[in-house]
Protein backbone atom coordinates (compact mmCIF):
# COMPACT_ATOMS: atom_id res chain seq x y z
CA UNK A 1 0.00 0.00 0.00
CA UNK A 2 2.81 2.38 0.69
CA UNK A 3 4.11 2.23 -2.87
CA UNK A 4 3.17 4.51 -5.73
CA UNK A 5 -0.46 3.35 -5.55
CA UNK A 6 -0.80 4.55 -1.96
CA UNK A 7 0.43 8.05 -2.77
CA UNK A 8 -1.78 8.31 -5.85
CA UNK A 9 -4.77 7.09 -3.82
CA UNK A 10 -4.16 9.76 -1.16
CA UNK A 11 -3.97 12.33 -3.96
CA UNK A 12 -7.27 11.09 -5.41
CA UNK A 13 -9.02 11.19 -2.02
CA UNK A 14 -7.72 14.71 -1.39
CA UNK A 15 -8.90 15.78 -4.85
CA UNK A 16 -12.38 14.33 -4.19
CA UNK A 17 -12.63 16.06 -0.80
CA UNK A 18 -11.55 19.33 -2.40
CA UNK A 19 -14.11 18.99 -5.21
CA UNK A 20 -16.82 18.21 -2.65
CA UNK A 21 -15.83 21.27 -0.62
CA UNK A 22 -15.76 23.54 -3.67
CA UNK A 23 -19.12 22.26 -4.95
CA UNK A 24 -21.15 21.90 -1.78
CA UNK A 25 -20.09 24.63 0.64
CA UNK A 26 -22.21 27.75 0.95
CA UNK A 27 -19.46 29.71 2.63
CA UNK A 28 -16.99 31.33 0.20
CA UNK A 29 -14.11 30.63 2.59
CA UNK A 30 -15.09 26.95 2.63
CA UNK A 31 -14.91 26.96 -1.17
CA UNK A 32 -11.39 28.42 -0.99
CA UNK A 33 -10.36 25.71 1.50
CA UNK A 34 -11.59 23.08 -0.98
CA UNK A 35 -9.55 24.64 -3.77
CA UNK A 36 -6.42 24.56 -1.60
CA UNK A 37 -6.99 20.82 -1.06
CA UNK A 38 -7.21 20.31 -4.85
CA UNK A 39 -3.85 22.07 -5.33
CA UNK A 40 -2.27 19.81 -2.71
CA UNK A 41 -3.63 16.68 -4.40
CA UNK A 42 -1.95 17.77 -7.63
CA UNK A 43 1.31 18.38 -5.79
CA UNK A 44 1.31 14.92 -4.18
CA UNK A 45 0.82 13.36 -7.62
CA UNK A 46 3.64 15.41 -9.17
CA UNK A 47 6.15 14.50 -6.47
CA UNK A 48 5.16 10.82 -6.18
CA UNK A 49 5.30 10.21 -9.94
CA UNK A 50 8.64 12.01 -10.10
CA UNK A 51 10.05 9.83 -7.32
CA UNK A 52 8.80 6.48 -8.62
CA UNK A 53 8.84 6.80 -12.41
CA UNK A 54 11.65 9.31 -13.07
CA UNK A 55 14.13 9.09 -10.19
CA UNK A 56 17.22 11.21 -10.67
CA UNK A 57 15.30 14.04 -12.31
CA UNK A 58 13.53 16.87 -10.58
CA UNK A 59 11.12 18.27 -13.17
CA UNK A 60 8.10 17.05 -11.21
CA UNK A 61 9.29 18.83 -8.09
CA UNK A 62 9.88 22.01 -10.12
CA UNK A 63 6.28 21.76 -11.36
CA UNK A 64 5.12 21.40 -7.76
CA UNK A 65 7.00 24.60 -6.86
CA UNK A 66 5.15 26.42 -9.65
CA UNK A 67 1.86 25.04 -8.33
CA UNK A 68 2.68 26.30 -4.81
CA UNK A 69 3.53 29.78 -6.13
CA UNK A 70 0.36 29.99 -8.21
CA UNK A 71 -1.70 28.70 -5.27
CA UNK A 72 -0.31 31.54 -3.16
CA UNK A 73 -1.31 34.05 -5.84
CA UNK A 74 -4.77 32.49 -6.08
CA UNK A 75 -5.26 32.54 -2.32
CA UNK A 76 -4.23 36.19 -2.04
CA UNK A 77 -6.60 37.36 -4.79
CA UNK A 78 -9.43 35.10 -3.64
CA UNK A 79 -9.22 36.23 -0.04
CA UNK A 80 -9.09 39.89 -1.07
CA UNK A 81 -12.24 39.30 -3.15
CA UNK A 82 -14.00 37.62 -0.20
CA UNK A 83 -13.07 40.56 2.02
CA UNK A 84 -14.43 43.06 -0.54
CA UNK A 85 -17.61 41.01 -1.03
CA UNK A 86 -18.17 40.95 2.73
CA UNK A 87 -17.63 44.69 2.94
CA UNK A 88 -20.18 45.39 0.19
CA UNK A 89 -22.82 42.71 0.81
CA UNK A 90 -22.35 41.95 4.55
CA UNK A 91 -22.42 38.22 3.78
CA UNK A 92 -20.03 35.45 2.79
CA UNK A 93 -22.71 32.95 1.74
CA UNK A 94 -22.59 32.40 -2.01
CA UNK A 95 -26.35 32.21 -2.65
CA UNK A 96 -26.81 35.78 -1.40
CA UNK A 97 -24.59 37.13 -4.18
CA UNK A 98 -27.39 37.42 -6.76
CA UNK A 99 -26.81 40.95 -8.02
CA UNK A 100 -26.99 39.87 -11.67
CA UNK A 101 -30.13 37.75 -11.25
CA UNK A 102 -32.97 39.18 -13.32
CA UNK B 1 8.16 -2.03 7.89
CA UNK B 2 8.74 1.26 9.69
CA UNK B 3 8.19 3.06 6.40
CA UNK B 4 4.72 1.51 6.12
CA UNK B 5 3.82 2.58 9.65
CA UNK B 6 4.98 6.16 9.00
CA UNK B 7 3.12 6.22 5.69
CA UNK B 8 -0.08 5.02 7.37
CA UNK B 9 0.19 7.66 10.08
CA UNK B 10 0.82 10.40 7.48
CA UNK B 11 -2.09 9.20 5.33
CA UNK B 12 -4.33 9.40 8.41
CA UNK B 13 -2.95 12.87 9.17
CA UNK B 14 -3.71 14.04 5.61
CA UNK B 15 -7.10 12.50 4.92
CA UNK B 16 -8.98 12.82 8.23
CA UNK B 17 -8.28 16.55 8.84
CA UNK B 18 -9.06 17.24 5.17
CA UNK B 19 -12.43 15.50 5.55
CA UNK B 20 -13.11 17.54 8.69
CA UNK B 21 -12.01 20.73 6.91
CA UNK B 22 -14.73 20.37 4.27
CA UNK B 23 -17.51 19.18 6.60
CA UNK B 24 -17.31 21.15 9.87
CA UNK B 25 -19.67 24.05 10.40
CA UNK B 26 -17.29 26.54 11.94
CA UNK B 27 -15.01 27.93 9.21
CA UNK B 28 -12.35 28.82 11.76
CA UNK B 29 -12.09 25.16 12.79
CA UNK B 30 -12.03 24.20 9.10
CA UNK B 31 -9.02 26.46 8.53
CA UNK B 32 -7.23 24.99 11.55
CA UNK B 33 -7.80 21.44 10.29
CA UNK B 34 -6.55 22.58 6.87
CA UNK B 35 -3.24 23.51 8.57
CA UNK B 36 -3.03 19.97 9.99
CA UNK B 37 -3.75 18.37 6.62
CA UNK B 38 -1.17 20.54 4.83
CA UNK B 39 1.42 19.59 7.45
CA UNK B 40 0.69 15.94 6.67
CA UNK B 41 1.23 16.65 2.97
CA UNK B 42 4.61 18.15 3.90
CA UNK B 43 5.41 14.90 5.69
CA UNK B 44 4.53 12.95 2.54
CA UNK B 45 6.93 15.19 0.58
CA UNK B 46 9.66 14.38 3.09
CA UNK B 47 8.97 10.64 2.66
CA UNK B 48 9.23 11.07 -1.12
CA UNK B 49 12.68 12.64 -0.76
CA UNK B 50 11.62 16.15 -1.81
CA UNK B 51 13.50 18.12 0.83
CA UNK B 52 13.05 21.60 -0.62
CA UNK B 53 9.34 21.06 -1.21
CA UNK B 54 8.97 19.90 2.40
CA UNK B 55 10.30 23.25 3.63
CA UNK B 56 8.39 25.24 0.99
CA UNK B 57 5.13 23.50 1.89
CA UNK B 58 5.57 24.29 5.58
CA UNK B 59 6.62 27.91 4.95
CA UNK B 60 4.21 28.89 2.18
CA UNK B 61 1.16 26.73 2.87
CA UNK B 62 1.09 25.86 6.56
CA UNK B 63 2.74 29.14 7.49
CA UNK B 64 1.58 31.73 5.00
CA UNK B 65 -1.62 30.91 3.19
CA UNK B 66 -3.45 29.52 6.21
CA UNK B 67 -2.53 32.50 8.39
CA UNK B 68 -3.98 34.71 5.65
CA UNK B 69 -7.07 32.48 5.59
CA UNK B 70 -7.49 32.76 9.37
CA UNK B 71 -7.19 36.56 9.16
CA UNK B 72 -9.94 36.73 6.54
CA UNK B 73 -12.14 34.31 8.53
CA UNK B 74 -11.87 36.66 11.49
CA UNK B 75 -12.35 39.84 9.44
CA UNK B 76 -15.30 38.70 7.34
CA UNK B 77 -18.43 36.93 8.38
CA UNK B 78 -20.34 37.19 11.59
CA UNK B 79 -20.58 34.46 14.25
CA UNK B 80 -24.05 33.61 13.00
CA UNK B 81 -22.47 32.34 9.76
CA UNK B 82 -20.81 29.65 11.85
CA UNK B 83 -24.02 28.03 13.05
CA UNK B 84 -26.17 28.03 9.89
CA UNK B 85 -26.30 25.09 7.50
CA UNK B 86 -23.01 24.93 5.60
CA UNK B 87 -23.96 22.94 2.49
CA UNK B 88 -26.09 24.09 -0.42
CA UNK B 89 -29.01 22.25 -2.01
CA UNK B 90 -26.81 20.23 -4.37
CA UNK B 91 -24.49 18.68 -1.80
CA UNK B 92 -25.62 15.12 -2.57
CA UNK B 93 -24.72 15.57 -6.23
CA UNK B 94 -21.34 16.97 -5.20
CA UNK B 95 -20.76 13.99 -2.92
CA UNK B 96 -21.65 11.56 -5.72
CA UNK B 97 -19.35 13.32 -8.20
CA UNK B 98 -16.41 13.32 -5.80
CA UNK B 99 -17.00 9.67 -4.85
CA UNK B 100 -17.09 8.81 -8.54
CA UNK B 101 -13.72 10.57 -8.95
CA UNK B 102 -12.11 8.39 -6.27
CA UNK B 103 -13.51 5.18 -7.78
CA UNK B 104 -12.51 6.00 -11.36
CA UNK B 105 -9.04 7.23 -10.43
CA UNK B 106 -8.39 4.16 -8.25
CA UNK B 107 -9.41 1.93 -11.16
CA UNK B 108 -6.99 3.78 -13.44
CA UNK B 109 -4.16 3.65 -10.90
CA UNK B 110 -4.60 -0.13 -10.57
CA UNK B 111 -3.55 -0.50 -14.21
CA UNK B 112 -0.42 1.61 -13.96
CA UNK B 113 2.89 -0.19 -14.47
CA UNK B 114 4.59 -1.18 -11.24
CA UNK B 115 7.77 0.92 -11.00
CA UNK B 116 11.16 -0.67 -10.62
CA UNK B 117 12.91 -0.86 -7.28
CA UNK B 118 13.50 2.53 -5.72
CA UNK B 119 16.93 4.06 -5.74
CA UNK B 120 17.87 5.76 -2.44
CA UNK B 121 16.72 9.36 -2.28
CA UNK B 122 19.34 12.05 -2.69
CA UNK B 123 18.98 15.75 -1.77
CA UNK B 124 17.33 17.52 -4.69
CA UNK B 125 17.62 21.18 -3.75
CA UNK B 126 20.68 21.89 -5.91
CA UNK B 127 19.22 20.09 -8.95
CA UNK B 128 15.94 21.92 -8.44
CA UNK B 129 17.69 25.29 -8.39
CA UNK B 130 19.48 24.44 -11.62
CA UNK B 131 16.20 23.45 -13.27
CA UNK B 132 14.52 26.70 -12.19
CA UNK B 133 17.36 29.01 -13.18
CA UNK B 134 18.68 27.27 -16.30
CA UNK B 135 15.98 25.20 -18.02
CA UNK B 136 12.76 26.84 -16.88
CA UNK B 137 13.94 30.41 -16.42
CA UNK B 138 11.17 31.90 -18.56
CA UNK B 139 8.27 30.24 -16.65
CA UNK B 140 10.08 31.18 -13.43
CA UNK B 141 10.08 34.86 -14.37
CA UNK B 142 6.49 34.61 -15.57
CA UNK B 143 5.45 33.24 -12.17
CA UNK B 144 7.18 36.13 -10.44
CA UNK B 145 5.20 38.52 -12.66
CA UNK B 146 1.97 36.67 -11.78
CA UNK B 147 2.78 36.98 -8.08
CA UNK B 148 3.43 40.72 -8.47
CA UNK B 149 0.15 41.16 -10.34
CA UNK B 150 -1.69 39.19 -7.65
CA UNK B 151 -0.21 41.39 -4.91
CA UNK B 152 -1.15 44.60 -6.70
CA UNK B 153 -4.60 43.22 -7.47
CA UNK B 154 -5.19 42.19 -3.87
CA UNK B 155 -4.23 45.65 -2.63
CA UNK B 156 -6.50 47.22 -5.24
CA UNK B 157 -9.46 45.00 -4.33
CA UNK B 158 -9.17 45.40 -0.59
CA UNK B 159 -8.27 49.05 -0.22
CA UNK B 160 -11.91 50.15 -0.15
CA UNK B 161 -13.51 53.21 -1.64
CA UNK B 162 -11.41 56.33 -1.83
CA UNK B 163 -13.19 59.32 -0.51
Q: Least CA distance to A94: which residue of chain B?
A: B88
Q: Note the pLDDT tens digit of each residue in A29-52.
A: 999 999 999 999 999 999 999 988
**Model pTM score:** 0.91
Give pLDDT, residue B162.
Answer: 58
| Nearest Cα to Cα of residue B50 among A13, A72, A65 | A65
3-state secondary structure of B76: coil
Instruction: Quote the ipTM score.
Output: 0.91
Q: Does residue B120 have a pLDDT over 70?
A: yes
d(CA A21, CA A58): 31
Q: Does residue A24 have a pLDDT over 60?
A: yes
Report CB contact under 8 Å: B18, A68. Answer: no
- Nearest-CB residue to B157 (from A5, A68, A81): A81
The contacts of residue B86 (CB under 8 Å, 6+ apart) are: A25, A26, A27, A30, B23, B24, B25
Query: CA of B94 to nearest chain A CA: how many angstroms apart?
Result: 5
Q: Least CA distance to A52: which residue of chain B?
A: B115
C-alpha torsion angle, residues A80, B60, B11, B117 (rounded to 10): 130
Report CB contact under 8 Å: B109, A25. Answer: no
Query: CA of B113 to nearest chain A CA: how many angstroms apart?
Result: 9
Report CB contact under 8 Å: B21, A37. Answer: yes
d(CA A52, CA B143): 27
Band of the pLDDT at B81, cuts 50, 70, 90?
A: confident
- Nearest-CB residue to B124 (from A61, A75, A87): A61
Under DSSP, the state recorded for A94 is G
Q: Note the pLDDT tens digit of each residue in B30-42.
A: 999 999 999 999 9
Q: Note the pLDDT tens digit of each residue in B123-159.
A: 888 889 998 899 899 999 999 999 999 999 999 888 8
Q: Note the pLDDT tens digit of each residue in B89-109.
A: 888 998 999 999 899 999 998
Where do the H-state alpha helices sit in B76-136? 91-110, 125-130
Arithmetic mean of pLDDT, B113-120 = 74
Report CB contact under 8 Å: B101, A15. Answer: yes
d(CA B16, CA B11): 8
Amino acid sequence: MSGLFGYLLIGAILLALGIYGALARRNLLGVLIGIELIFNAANINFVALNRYLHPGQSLGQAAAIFVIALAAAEAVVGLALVLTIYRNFRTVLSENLNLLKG
Amino acid sequence: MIEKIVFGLLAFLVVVPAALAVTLKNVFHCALFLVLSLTGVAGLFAMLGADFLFVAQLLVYAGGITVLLLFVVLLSGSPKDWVVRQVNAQWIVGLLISGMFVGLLAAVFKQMPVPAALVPAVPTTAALGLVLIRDWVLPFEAVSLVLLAALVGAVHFSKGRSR
